[in-house]
Amino acid sequence: MTLFLSVVFLMFLTVCEESIYSNQLPDENNHTLEGWGLVWNDEFDGDAIDGQKWNKLLWRPGWVNNELQAYTDRDTNVFVQDGNLVIRALIEPGFFGTDYTGTSYTADYTSGRLNTAGKGEWTYGRFDTRAKLPKGIGSWPAIWMLGSNISTVGWPHCGEIDIMEHVGFDEGNIHASIHTTDYNHVNGTQKSGQVIIPTATDSFHVYSLEWDSTYIRYLVDDEPYFFIYNDSNGDEDKWPFNKPQYIILNLAVGGDWGGAQGIDPSVFPMEMKVDYVRVFEKSENSTNVNVTFQVDMKNEIVSGEGVWLSGGNISSGQPGGLQMQPVADTTVWEVTLTLPPYSSYNYKYRNGHYPDTWSGGWESVPDECGEGSYNDRALLVGNSDTTLSVVCFKECTACE
């Protein structure tokens, strides 16, 4: 588990078996997740963890991120109770155990970590986890994914997708991120987003990931808050997310991030409760949409680095933005993005490439076509391919 992570409060409608939602499960609010079909799930309704779906990890303290807990397979640390998976962290000074390599250790804290490696692995889809997070300084729960090829190519080349991470000293601040060879927290280059969920430790919320070949989108309670577009041009150091990944659920104690402000002994036992984990694939009648953005630079001196689509959430995590290309024999620049249907974005055009800063090159959009605190342009994607009207850089309409 590395820094950060994402989301969605799903609710399902019972429908006939012949429909594309035949595998969906009803919940208390009877909403439907349209465009997706259920392919794997665990509702934790039994009396034990399903060994055909989950592996229980046996790790000694300090194995990653200088975390202080030992991960055990004991039913005091990981168990099913009242329809929930419970991952419980305990203070147990002098606890003696053996990790998966046969190495003996002693630990002052114990906890649990599950994954689906070798039992459930997916390339693309929607991943929903309904969970209630632990309260208390020193806690570090996570819902995340790792490339199944980690044993052969190593981390971070395998790719890591953090759906949800939370640290107890910063209560309610939910983090999401990706880690790759080029973009990772060791180098301070990871692409990360966050959202405040004030009741994250008091009630259940659905943390969701939508993962496709062209984008990764994070949501909480079905509200999107962070978006990453694949502009890697096939470079796996930037985007290794075209191979299977497996799910991980864990509750760490302390560590480089979780323990940055110490550990409060009064909050133990700490518990992360998980109501369900559900994996969906896109239904046959749900497809992405191609959107072509166009800007006319007629009245501008174009930077030698070209024009970029940037700002807002269209290129969140990518300060430099997404590169546009000149249209032959015109002053127009354009780029076509493949986006999820019925999604919304804000953005600006940027003259020049500034990969290490959010300053420089921005257009100033007039109030009549801008919105929000930064006066961004806005886009609502429909369900069909679209070419946006050409607008003049810094203007709402075409250049005169």
Q: What percent of the chain has pLDDT over 70?
A: 92
Domain boundaries, the chain: 36-282, 289-392
Section 158-185 average pLDDT: 96
Instruction: Name residue 150's amino acid.
Output: I
Question: Angle 44-47-49 (CA atoms, 0-180°, nearest 5)?
Answer: 55
Bridge partners, 326 (sequence order): 333
% of the chain surpassing 90 pLDDT: 83
- CA–CA distance, 165 with 163 (Å, rounded to integer): 7
Question: Burial code of 181-196, b = ≥16 C-beta within 10 A, e = fewer?
Answer: bbbbbeeebbbbbbbe
Mean pLDDT of 131-138: 98
| 8 pLDDT higher than 60 | no
Q: What is the pLDDT of residue 9?
A: 28
Candidates 337, 327, 335, 336; CA nearest to 297 is: 327
Catalytic residue flag (residue 223): no
Mean pLDDT lowest among 89-93, 127-131, 141-145, 190-194: 190-194
Cα–Cα nearest to 128, from 27, 7, 243: 7
pLDDT tier for residue 119 given thresholds of 50, 70 and 90: very high
**Largest interatomic CA distance in the chain:** 76
289-392 maps to which CATH number? 2.60.40.10
- pLDDT, mean of residues 181-201: 92
Q: Kindly tell me the number of DSSP H helices and DSSP E strands found in the chain.
A: 2, 27
- Over residues 187-216, mean pLDDT: 95
Q: Going by C-beta distance under 8 Å and a sequence separation of 6 or more, which residues neighbour residue 377?
A: 312, 346, 347, 348, 349, 365, 369, 370, 391
Residues in the chain: 400
pLDDT at 32: 56
User: What is the enclosing helix (H) or strand (E) of 322?
Assistant: strand 322-323
Q: Catalytic: 17? A: no
282-328 pLDDT tens trace: 988 889 999 999 999 999 999 999 999 998 888 876 778 999 999 99
Contacting residues for 47 by C-beta, under 8 A, at least 6 apart: 80
Higher pLDDT pick, 375 / 356:
375
Better-predicted residue by pLDDT, 3 or 334: 334
Please report the pLDDT score of residue 358 as a whole number: 82
Position 241 pLDDT exceeds 80: yes
Question: Pick the catalytic residue: 160, 171, 210, 334?
Answer: 160
Which of the residue ranges 18-27, 340-349, 356-365 would you say has the lowest mean pLDDT? 18-27
Per residue in 88-104, pLDDT (tens digit) is 999 999 999 999 999 99
pTM: 0.90
- What pLDDT score was predicted for residue 7? 30
- Considering only 54-63, 141-150, 279-288, which range has the smallest mean pLDDT? 279-288
Q: Tokens representing 221?
A: 């309670």
Q: What is the pLDDT of residue 28?
A: 42
- The confidence score (pLDDT) of residue 25 equals 52
pLDDT band at 188 (very low <50, low <70, confident <90, very high): confident
Q: Which of 67, 92, 121, 165 is catalytic?
A: 165
Query: Cα separation of 162 and 6, whole Å?
Result: 6
Q: What's the pLDDT score for residue 264? A: 98
What six digits make up the tokens of 364?
């100033």
Burial of 395 (0-12, 13-18, 19+ CB in 10 A): middle
Q: Which of 6-15, 169-178, 339-348, 381-390 has the lowest mean pLDDT?
A: 6-15
Q: What is the mean pLDDT of residues 377-387?
A: 95
Pairing status of strand 289-296 against strand 332-339: antiparallel
Which residues neighbour 88 within 8 Å (Cβ) at sequence distance 6 or greater? Answer: 76, 77, 78, 79, 111, 112, 251, 269, 270, 271
| DSSP secondary structure of 149-177 | THHHH-TTTT-EEEEEE--GGGTTEEEEE
**Confidence tier at 390 by pLDDT (50, 70, 90):** very high
Q: What is the mean pLDDT of the chain?
A: 91
* H-type alpha helices, 13-101: none
Cis peptide before 341 (omega within 30 of 0): no
* pLDDT value for 227: 94
Out of 4-18, 101-115, 163-177, 221-235, which region has the weakest mean confidence (pLDDT)?
Answer: 4-18
Residues 249, 145: Cα–Cα separation, whole Å: 9
Correct CATH for 36-282 of 3.40.50.720, 3.30.70.260, 3.30.360.10, 2.60.120.200: 2.60.120.200
Q: Which residue has the higher pLDDT, 11 or 218?
A: 218
